[in-house]
Structure 1
Amino acid sequence: MRRPARYRTGTVVGMTATTRTQISAKAPARRRQNTGRWRMSPRARKANLFLHLIVSITWLGLDIGLLTLTITGLATEDPQTLRAAYISMRLFGDLLLIPAGLLTLLTGLVLALGTHWGVTRHYWVLAKVVLTLTAVTLTIFSLRPGLHEAAEAAIATPLDDSGPDTLYPPVVSLTMYVTMVALSVFKPWSRTPWARDR
Structure 2
Amino acid sequence: MKTSPRWRQSVVWLHVVSSVAWMSQALALVVLMSAGAPAMADRLDSVLLAPMANVSAFTGLLLAGATAWGYLRHWWVLTKFALTLIQLYAGIFLLSPALRESADTGAVAWPQVAGAALMASALAFQAWLSVAKPGRKTPWSPAAKPPTAPTWVFVAGIAAPAFDVTAGLLLGYPLPALELVTLGVLALERRRRHRRARRPSARSPRSAPAASSPGA
TM-score over 0.5 for the pair: yes
CA displacement at 1:92 relative to structure 2:
1.5
Determine the structure 2 residue equivalent to 1:193.
Answer: 139
Determine the structure 1 residue equivalent to 2:85.
Answer: 133
CA distance in 1, matches of 2:97, 2:27: 18
TM-score (norm 2): 0.63
Determine the structure 1 residue equivalent to 2:44.
Answer: 92
Among 164, 167, 170, the alignment partner of 2:116 is 170
Task: Output the amino acid matched with 2:143.
Answer: D
The structure carrying a bigger helix percent of its residues is 1
C-alpha RMSD of matched pairs (Å): 1.6
Among 56, 65, 68, the alignment partner of 1:104 is 56
Q: What are structure 2's unaligned runs of at least 5 residues?
A: 145-216
- For residue 185 of structure 1, give the secondary structure of its aligned residue in structure 2: helix
- For residue 195 of structure 1, give the secondary structure of its aligned residue in structure 2: coil
Show the 5 A alignment for 1:10-89.
Answer: 40-73=3-36, 85-89=37-41
CA distance in 2, matches of 1:87, 1:196: 49
Indicate if the aligned counterparts of 1:52 and 1:107 stay in contact, CA closer than 8 A.
yes
CA displacement at 1:197 relative to structure 2:
2.1
Task: Output the amino acid matched with 1:195.
Answer: S
CA displacement at 1:41 relative to structure 2:
2.7
Indicate if the aligned counterparts of 2:74 and 2:136 stay in contact, CA closer than 8 A.
yes
Among 102, 106, 115, the alignment partner of 1:150 is 102
CA displacement at 1:47 relative to structure 2:
0.8
CA distance in 2, matches of 1:163, 1:136: 20
Indicate if the aligned counterparts of 1:98 and 1:136 stay in contact, CA closer than 8 A.
no
CA displacement at 1:40 relative to structure 2:
4.3
2:182 is equivalent to residue 182 of structure 1:
no
Indicate if the aligned counterparts of 2:24 and 2:120 stay in contact, CA closer than 8 A.
no
Among 53, 67, 72, the alignment partner of 1:115 is 67
How many corresponding residue pairs? 144
CA distance in 1, matches of 2:71, 2:103: 38
Indicate if the aligned counterparts of 1:109 and 1:129 stay in contact, CA closer than 8 A.
yes
Provide closer, same or farther for how the CA distance between residues 48 and 133 of structure 1 changes in structure 2, counting only shifts above 3 A: same
- For residue 193 of structure 1, give the secondary structure of its aligned residue in structure 2: coil
% identical equivalent positions: 33
CA displacement at 1:61 relative to structure 2:
1.0
- For residue 87 of structure 1, give the secondary structure of its aligned residue in structure 2: helix
Task: Output the amino acid matched with 1:119.
Answer: Y
CA distance in 1, matches of 2:3, 2:119: 31
TM-score (norm 1): 0.68
Structure number with the bigger relative contact order (C-alpha 8 A, sep ≥ 6) is: 2
Indicate if the aligned counterparts of 1:64 and 1:174 stay in contact, CA closer than 8 A.
yes
Moved over 6 A (4+): none
CA distance in 2, matches of 1:47, 1:194: 29
Query: Which structure has the bigger radius of gyration?
Result: 1
